[in-house]
Each structure stands twice: as C-alpha cells, then as structure tokens.
C-alpha cells in the first residue's frame, strides 16, 4: 500500500511539473519541414543556409533533419524539442548520443553546460546563461526574443578563459544571432522562410553576389501618400551593418524596420503604419559612414 501511495504521489508531482511547462515555447524553434534560415557568418564572410529537409526516428524519438549548405555550415544535424522544452541535437559534432544545448523553459539567470554548438564551430563545452525574454523588432515586427549568453568558464578552465557563445532566439523565427566569444565570430540571420512566409532577404548562394549596387541609395517609398502600408527600397553596395528607422516630425523613433548586417544588394521592406496617426514621417537609412533620409505622408 505504501509503495502504491509513493508511486501515486510521484505521478501527481510529475504531472504537475509537465502541466506547468509552457508548450508554446516550441514556437521559438519552429521545426517544420521546409523551413529555411540564411545567415551571414563574419568569420568566413560567407552565407550559410540551414533547411529542414525532412524527419526521421532515432532511438524511438522523432527528429527533424537540418541540412546546411555554404561555408562552414555544411554538416547535417538532427533536432527535436523534448517534453521539458529543451532543444536536443543529434549528429554533427555531437559525440555519441543526443545532447542538449538550448533550454526554453528555464528561469532567468539559469546556467548549464552545453555539449554542442548549433553551428558546429566549437570544440569545447561552454556554459550558457538564460537571460530571459525581451521584445525586439525582428524583420520590422515586434517579437519576443530569448537571450542566451556566456555563462562563464568550466570549473577546470582558467578563470580568465574567454570561451563560450551567446544567442538571440525569436518566437516564430528561430535563431536570429549567435556570437562566439572565443574567436569573436558571429552569425546573423539575413532571411528566413517559416511555414511558407518569407522574412528578410533570401539569396541564392550560387548567384551571390550579383548586381551589386554602386552606392548606398534610399528611394522614395511607394505608394506615397499611403494608408496604412507602404514599401521602402534601398541599396547597400558593401557588407556592412545598416539600420532603417522611422521617426515622427518631433524626432521620436516610431519604428525600426531593420537593424542588422547586410550583404551587398538591393532591399525592400514593408512598413505597416496602422498603429500611427495621420501625418508626415521621416525614414532614415544609416550605416557607419552614411545617412540617408526621406519623407512620407500617412493619410487615414
């Protein structure tokens, strides 16, 4: 009887733990066949594309097959999210069986040891710190973004060891940035196709770069006047960080349409001003060297 009571209590406790886990956290890693992410890696100055090519069963669990192409991201790995909202990886640089890198249901400032780096660039095991969720603009839309940061060296490593990585993971998009503190590298998301919807810019690696603009240019939005959606086009001739922001006539920032590293090329973004009142607004394209601006009129 006592044994049955203990088992019953364990079942209730376990059930309560699983009931408290927010299963919508899976949206931070949208693992669906056909989804695609394209990153710029400043370590090798190349594009890296990651695609979910299919799914398979390993050790009785369903994994998604993630294939890489371009530059260093050429290895295939297998990914799944377990019942505790942990991102589990199999293959690639993982020795032996599966391991955990990201934990999506942690409390702020939690630290754990990760056995694998998503890009396959690291050979040691870093500590990762979960630093909570904040709202950021991702491809011109406010989204919840999880912050994972360097958690410090392992116990048997010198205290001044600079090793580890950090990441930013957006709900509905996935990894938007990864930073490698041991050699100063970083990958930044340039574009993605999630459930058939394209975000940002997707470039064919075989074709890039082609038709590179000769100079930075910002074009008049169209249509103008508009209500409430308009398109803004701009050209970037070099690999550089650029931002495109919208301000009211008082100089107050009202929208961040993009703020990231760009490859050479022509871009366009859609600005939805449905939350703003009628009037004139200024859109500003800025890099480290150049600032361009234009004026547009919202009429409701």
Lowest mean pLDDT among 75-79, 120-124, 280-284: 120-124
* 164 pLDDT more than 80: no
Distance CA(188)–CA(119), nearest Å, equals 12
DSSP conformational letter for 97: S
Sequence length of the chain is: 300
pLDDT tier, 97 (very low <50, low <70, confident <90, very high otherwise): low
Query: What's the pLDDT at 203?
Result: 75
* 279 pLDDT more than 70: yes
Query: What's the pLDDT at 244?
Result: 92
| Higher pLDDT pick, 117 / 70 | 70
Of the CATH numbers 3.40.50, 2.40.360, 2.30.30, 3.30.420, which one belongs to the domain with range 27-200?
2.40.360
Distance CA(279)–CA(225), nearest Å, equals 10
pLDDT tier, 37 (very low <50, low <70, confident <90, very high otherwise): very high
Of 218, 276, 224, nearest to 250 (Cα)?
Answer: 276
Query: What's the pLDDT at 125?
Result: 59
Domain spans of the chain, in order of start = 27-200, 217-298
Task: Kindly write down the DSSP assignment for every residue of 9-44, as one continuous string.
Answer: HHHHHHHHHHHHS-GGGGGGS---TT-EEEEEETTT
Residue ranges of alpha helices (H) inside 154-297 are: none
Distance CA(287)–CA(218), nearest Å, equals 12
pLDDT tens per residue across span 257-272: 888 777 777 787 888 8
The fold for domain 217-298 equals: Immunoglobulin-like (2.60.40)
Q: Is the pTM value of this prediction over 0.85?
A: no
Q: Which three-class secondary structure state does DSSP give residue 261? A: strand
pLDDT tens per residue across span 187-228: 889 899 998 888 888 876 544 444 567 789 999 999 999 999
Lowest mean pLDDT among 146-160, 257-271, 276-290: 146-160
* 15 pLDDT more than 50: no
* 116 pLDDT more than 70: no
Query: What's the pLDDT at 124?
Result: 52
Residue ranges of alpha helices (H) inside the chain are: 2-20
* 146 pLDDT more than 60: yes
* 16 pLDDT more than 70: no
Average pLDDT of the chain to the nearest whole number: 78
DSSP conformational letter for 255: E
Check: CB of residue 40 under 8 Å from CB of residue 178: no
| Higher pLDDT pick, 115 / 48 | 48
Q: Do domains 27-200 and 217-298 have the same CATH topology?
A: no
């Amino acid at each position: 009887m006592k044994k049955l009571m203990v088992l019953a209590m364990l079942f209730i406790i376990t059930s309560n733990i699983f009931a408290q886990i927010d299963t919508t956290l899976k949206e931070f890693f949208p693992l669906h066949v056909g989804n695609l992410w394209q990153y710029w890696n400043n370590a090798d100055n190349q594009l890296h594309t990651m695609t979910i090519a299919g799914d398979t069963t390993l050790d009785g669990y369903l994994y998604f097959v993630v294939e890489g192409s371009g530059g260093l991201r050429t290895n295939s790995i297998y990914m799944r999210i377990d019942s505790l909202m942990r991102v589990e990886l199999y293959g690639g640089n993982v020795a032996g069986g599966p391991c955990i890198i990201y934990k999506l249901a942690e409390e702020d400032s939690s630290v754990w040891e990760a056995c694998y780096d998503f890009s396959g660039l690291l050979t040691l095991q870093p500590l990762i710190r979960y630093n909570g969720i904040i709202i950021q603009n991702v491809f011109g839309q406010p989204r919840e973004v999880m912050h994972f940061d360097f958690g410090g060296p392992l116990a048997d490593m010198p205290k001044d060891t600079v090793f580890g990585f950090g990441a930013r993971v957006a709900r509905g998009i996935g990894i938007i940035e990864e930073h490698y503190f041991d050699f100063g590298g970083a990958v930044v998301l340039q574009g993605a196709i999630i459930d058939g919807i394209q975000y940002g810019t997707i470039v064919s690696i075989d074709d890039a770069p082609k038709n590179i603009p000769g100079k930075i240019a910002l074009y008049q939005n169209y249509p103008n006047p508009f209500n409430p959606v308009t398109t803004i086009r701009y050209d970037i001739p070099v690999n550089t960080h650029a931002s495109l922001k919208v301000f009211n006539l008082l100089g107050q920032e009202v929208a961040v349409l993009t703020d990231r590293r760009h490859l050479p090329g022509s871009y366009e973004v859609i600005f939805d001003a449905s939350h703003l009142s009628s009037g004139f607004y200024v859109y500003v394209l800025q890099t480290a060297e150049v600032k361009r601006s234009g004026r547009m009129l919202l009429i409701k």
